Amino acid sequence: MTKPTTSRLIGKPVQRKEGREKVTGAARYVDDITFPDMLHGTTVRSAVARGRILRIHFGDGIPWDEFTIVTAKDIPAKNCVALLIEDQPCLADGVVNHPEEAVVLLAHRDKYLLEEARRAVRVEYEPLPAIFTIEDSLAKKEIIWGADNIFKSFLVEKGDADAAMATAEIIVEGEYETGAQEQLYIEPQGMIARASAAEGVTVWGSLQCPYYVHKALKGIFGEPPERIRVVQTETGGGFGGKEEYPSMLAGHAALLALKSGKAVKMIYDRAEDMAATTKRHPSRTRHRTGLTRDGKLVAMDIDFTIDGGAYETLSPVVLSRGTIHAAGPYLCPHVRVRSRAVATNMPPHGAFRGFGAPQSVFALERHMDRVADAIGITPEELRRRNFIHQGETLAVSQVVREKVDMDKLMTRAFELSDYHAKRARFCAENARGGAIQRGIGFAAFLHGAGFTGSGEEYLASEAAMEATAEGRVRVFAGSTEMGQGTNTIFTQIAAETLGIDADHIEIVQPDTAHVPNSGPTVASRTTMIVGKLVETAAKSIQQTLIDNRLLAPGYRAAEFAPACARYIAECGPLKSFAKYRQPQDLHWDDEKYQGDAYGAYGWAVYVAEVSVDVRTAETRVEDFVAVQEVGTVINPVLAAGQVEGGVAQGIGFALYENIVWREGRMINGQMTNYIMPTSMDVPPIRVCFEEVPYERGPAGAKGIGELPLDGTAPAIANALAHATGIDIRRIPVTPEVLAEMLEAVHA
């Protein structure tokens, strides 16, 4: 397939659909919505990491009879937030398993009195021993979940890694760690609920996945699906952080609403959001890599562990993606990846842009630079000798069908960043031992778009479309806009397919009462998977009009509305519907964890240039080049924005964002001491797309949303290693950490 040369809207910087509302302040976020007689809700949380609840004291001086008070015993049906399994209670009942676990809910009209009341509730515990590290969890120092603290484990095997390793001429080992990271969406979590025996439950809130919340509420309230309604309000970012937790918060607000008989609003402030909601899983990866003397991969043995926190949430899915991406875009005949997600008494870790891949890709790409060093070839040469090509087989035994050309991406990235000249120049300059040391490094990686394995088949996503007599077209899907561009991309696809103007397309607000389940807005799947459904639904409306001889192929835009009007007058509503169907040639074996893990991958090479002031141990990212192939680019401004934002988050992951834990509690939960990159810390980011249309994507597009987070941190860490000669094994490399390492080197 080639890019349509006639395309009016694909590849064009069509303006963000909801942009005007956002910049003028007209957009309505959940905290902008009020109901008459509405109460505010708050949460009394566990002060200990693990313990038995002995008593709950309601302190003096508070008019408790004015408050709605909810505990676990008020839950109408099941006390659990249903996701993959049902291990996480909506409210702690008898025991707590992590700090900040919700124990009591309060509601009152006056939110200031509410805060005083929250502080007046004291929960008395009998403390139980708790564990906080991957090591303690694996060592079963305390069994805190299931029989062995293991939420999930995977084994991926290709060939015979042990036998091949024995034949390797060189073996290089290494262990790598990444820390937790907060999603830091601009808008913290928030939800409003109404609930009654007569009408069921309705929630409005900031969320990524309306149907996840819907499922959880069904379980908590024991209501049939039609009596639960979930409406997404304008959402100020999610980054994975609004996949799991909104189900919990919706449950809380709805429980208070049911008991009080009033609408209840719960909005977290930044401190509560940081303390209580999910973060990126901390990880530890061990590599053992066998090669020939000239740098051909012979065997890879990878061991990947993530800390899931106290409940399972989406840890198995995060682990799965991290596992599949752990061996990267390389051809190696013998690979074994063993992985597990373990339980600790930390607040549950959850989805965060990249879903485990940024963790395992950091380890691999840092390791590859060390391997090159050990062999005595350049990092570039090592990658070039081992890049995967079309027709070759990835670690999960998936034959790559795409026309992948990693060499070309690398060459382009090196040209744009002047990599070779800078690498040589920095080496020479650094040798003179100045206060500022410079380095340049890169990472090569791939990122699968869409749900893993049979995930898309199982989801069986649906989208619908309706045209009005005025020729306006409405798109119905549960996919949410959270800044990444869903509304605009769907608009471009629908308008392009129908041959009409972008302003004739309307994206219906995700509301489970009105939109079909197009699956969760995760896994960079919206454009590629749901966008394709939008394209199919649009083609079907068009075909209906053509079949009824109301339009002829090649019609002009102005003919569309009259055709719709005539159809509706003569035949009734003009609607269409599209459902995902798994391509026949994609096969996945869930038992062996082998096969077509993803329908398509994005491919990329990122180059980072850093400078380090060896007196202050501060690292600056001076320049950044991001070259990727993600199929056809539907909207160049939004696509570049995805890369720029992802790189900024990756800079935070690599250099700044450090969560300080004490007994499982985040103690730097403020933006004054949890340091994220600001505009001053983000260099010019040069974004370049190599476009190879993907035949199954809408207009040839694949996914892009998460990919930029995978390669940024390892590119920076490799540049930092180049600048300082320090073997970076763990991120974030804050100035404090780097200062210690520099001292050790110079001591």
Residues that bind ligand MTE (CB under 6 A): 237-240, 353, 482-484, 486, 521-527, 642, 645, 703, 705-706
Taking the complex as a whole, the smallest distance from the CB of residue 240 to ligand MTE amounts, in Å, to 4
Q: What is the DSSP letter of 559?
A: G
Give the pair of three-digit tokens for residue 737: 């950490």
Q: Which helix (H) or strand (E) holds 441?
A: strand 436-449
The residue within the footprint of ligand MOS, chosen from 243, 301, 365, 710 (CB under 6 A), is: 243
Site for ligand MOS in 174-233 (CB under 6 A): 208
Buried b / exposed e across 147-184, counting CB within 10 Å, b at 16+? eebbbbebebbbbebeebbeebebbbebebbbbbbbbb
Taking the complex as a whole, the smallest distance from the CB of residue 448 to ligand MOS amounts, in Å, to 11
| DSSP string across 4-46 | -TT-SSTTS-PPPTTHHHHHHT-S-BGGG---TT-EEEEEEE-
Identity of residue 634 = I
What is the size of the binding site for ligand MOS (CB under 6 A)?
11
Candidates 112-120, 347-355, 500-508, 546-554: pick the segment binding ligand MOS (CB under 6 A). Answer: 347-355
Taking the complex as a whole, the smallest distance from the CB of residue 635 to ligand MTE amounts, in Å, to 11
The residue within the footprint of ligand MOS, chosen from 214, 340, 353, 702 (CB under 6 A), is: 353
Taking the complex as a whole, the smallest distance from the CB of residue 238 to ligand MOS amounts, in Å, to 6
Please say which residue, 340 or 353, places its beta carbon nearer to ligand MOS: 353
Residue 126, classified by CB atoms within 10 Å of its CB into exposed (0-12), middle (13-18) or buried (19+), is exposed
What is the maximal distance between C-alpha atoms in the chain?
87
Preceding omega of 510 cis (within 30 degrees of 0): no
Please say which residue, 353 or 370, places its beta carbon nearer to ligand MOS: 353
Please say which residue, 156 or 709, places its beta carbon nearer to ligand MTE: 709
Please say which residue, 240 or 455, places its beta carbon nearer to ligand MTE: 240
49 contacts which partner out of ligand MOS, ligand MTE, none, CB within 5 to 8 A by kind?
A: none
320 contacts which partner out of ligand MOS, ligand MTE, none, CB within 5 to 8 A by kind?
A: none
- From the list 627, 612, 622, 621, the residue with the least C-alpha distance to 686 is 627
Candidates 348-356, 433-441, 529-537, 713-721: pick the segment binding ligand MOS (CB under 6 A). Answer: 348-356
Please say which residue, 100 or 644, places its beta carbon nearer to ligand MTE: 644
Taking the complex as a whole, the smallest distance from the CB of residue 359 to ligand MTE amounts, in Å, to 14
Please say which residue, 352 or 442, places its beta carbon nearer to ligand MTE: 352
Candidates 36-44, 57-65, 237-245, 506-514: pick the segment binding ligand MOS (CB under 6 A). Answer: 237-245
User: Does residue 352 touch ligand MOS according to CB under 6 A?
Assistant: yes
Taking the complex as a whole, the smallest distance from the CB of residue 183 to ligand MOS amounts, in Å, to 9
Please say which residue, 238 or 698, places its beta carbon nearer to ligand MOS: 238
Inter-residue contact 732 to 653 (CB < 8 Å): yes
Inter-residue contact 383 to 368 (CB < 8 Å): yes
Taking the complex as a whole, the smallest distance from the CB of residue 638 to ligand MTE amounts, in Å, to 9
Q: Distance between CA atoms of 543 and 192, rounded to whole angstroms?
A: 42
Taking the complex as a whole, the smallest distance from the CB of residue 455 to ligand MTE amounts, in Å, to 13
List of residues 6+ apart from 680 with CB closer than 8 A:
none
Please say which residue, 149 or 283, places its beta carbon nearer to ligand MOS: 283
User: Does residue 459 touch ligand MOS according to CB under 6 A?
Assistant: no
User: Does residue 240 touch ligand MOS according to CB under 6 A?
Assistant: yes
Taking the complex as a whole, the smallest distance from the CB of residue 240 to ligand MOS amounts, in Å, to 3
517 contacts which partner out of ligand MOS, ligand MTE, none, CB within 5 to 8 A by kind?
A: none
Q: Distance between CA atoms of 66 and 56, rounded to whole angstroms?
A: 18
Q: Distance between CA atoms of 140 and 80, rounded to whole angstroms?
A: 25
486 contacts which partner out of ligand MOS, ligand MTE, none, CB within 5 to 8 A by kind?
A: ligand MTE
151 contacts which partner out of ligand MTE, ligand MOS, none, CB within 5 to 8 A by kind?
A: none
Q: Is residue 119 classed as helix, strand or coil in its secondary structure?
A: helix
How far does CA 701 lie from the centroid of its chain?
19
Q: Distance between CA atoms of 206 and 192, rounded to whole angstroms?
A: 10
Please say which residue, 596 or 706, places its beta carbon nearer to ligand MTE: 706
Taking the complex as a whole, the smallest distance from the CB of residue 28 to ligand MOS amounts, in Å, to 23
Apex CA 237: angle with CA 231 and CA 241, to 5°? 85
Taking the complex as a whole, the smallest distance from the CB of residue 525 to ligand MOS amounts, in Å, to 8
What are φ and ψ of residue 730, in 5° steps? -145, 135
599 contacts which partner out of ligand MOS, ligand MTE, none, CB within 5 to 8 A by kind?
A: none
Whole-number Cα distances in Å, 177 to 222, 305, 363, 444, 547: 42, 10, 7, 19, 59
Q: Distance between CA atoms of 481 and 526, rounded to whole angstroms?
A: 10
Candidates 59-67, 145-153, 340-348, 351-359: pick the segment binding ligand MOS (CB under 6 A). Answer: 351-359
Between helix 419-431 and helix 707-724 the angle, nearest 10°, is 30
Site for ligand MOS in 76-95 (CB under 6 A): none
Taking the complex as a whole, the smallest distance from the CB of residue 584 to ligand MOS amounts, in Å, to 26
Whole-number Cα distances in Å, 17 to 20, 38, 492, 648: 8, 31, 10, 24
User: Does residue 664 touch ligand MOS according to CB under 6 A?
Assistant: no
Taking the complex as a whole, the smallest distance from the CB of residue 279 to ligand MTE amounts, in Å, to 13
243 contacts which partner out of ligand MOS, ligand MTE, none, CB within 5 to 8 A by kind?
A: ligand MOS
User: Does residue 351 touch ligand MOS according to CB under 6 A?
Assistant: yes
Q: Distance between CA atoms of 424 and 422, rounded to whole angstroms?
A: 5
HSE toward the beta carbon, residue 83, CA cutoff 13 A:
24
End-to-end CA distance of the chain: 60
Site for ligand MOS in 702-721 (CB under 6 A): 706
HSE toward the beta carbon, residue 317, CA cutoff 13 A:
24
Identity of residue 327 = A
Q: What is the DSSP letter of 654?
A: I
Q: What is the DSSP letter of 50?
A: S
Site for ligand MOS in 507-526 (CB under 6 A): 522-523
Taking the complex as a whole, the smallest distance from the CB of residue 354 to ligand MOS amounts, in Å, to 6
Taking the complex as a whole, the smallest distance from the CB of residue 135 to ligand MTE amounts, in Å, to 29
- Residue with smallest beta-carbon separation from ligand MOS: 240
Taking the complex as a whole, the smallest distance from the CB of residue 530 to ligand MTE amounts, in Å, to 8
Please say which residue, 648 or 723, places its beta carbon nearer to ligand MOS: 648
Candidates 285-293, 352-360, 366-374, 402-410: pick the segment binding ligand MOS (CB under 6 A). Answer: 352-360
Taking the complex as a whole, the smallest distance from the CB of residue 10 to ligand MTE amounts, in Å, to 16
User: Does residue 606 touch ligand MOS according to CB under 6 A?
Assistant: no
HSE toward the beta carbon, residue 252, CA cutoff 13 A:
31
311 contacts which partner out of ligand MTE, ligand MOS, none, CB within 5 to 8 A by kind?
A: none
Please say which residue, 11 or 356, places its beta carbon nearer to ligand MOS: 356
Whole-number Cα distances in Å, 445 to 300, 468, 626: 16, 45, 11
| DSSP string across 342-410 | EE-SSSPP---TTTTHHHHHHHHHHHHHHHHHHHTS-HHHHHHHHB--TT-B-TTSPBP-S---HHHHH
Please say which residue, 439 or 520, places its beta carbon nearer to ligand MOS: 520
Give one word for 25, left, alpha or beta, with left for phi > 0 and alpha for psi -120 to 50: left
237 contacts which partner out of ligand MOS, ligand MTE, none, CB within 5 to 8 A by kind?
A: ligand MTE
How far does CA 41 lie from the centroid of its chain?
28
Q: Distance between CA atoms of 555 and 538, rounded to whole angstroms?
A: 15
The residue ranges that bind ligand MOS (CB under 6 A) are 208, 238, 240, 243, 351-353, 355, 522-523, 706
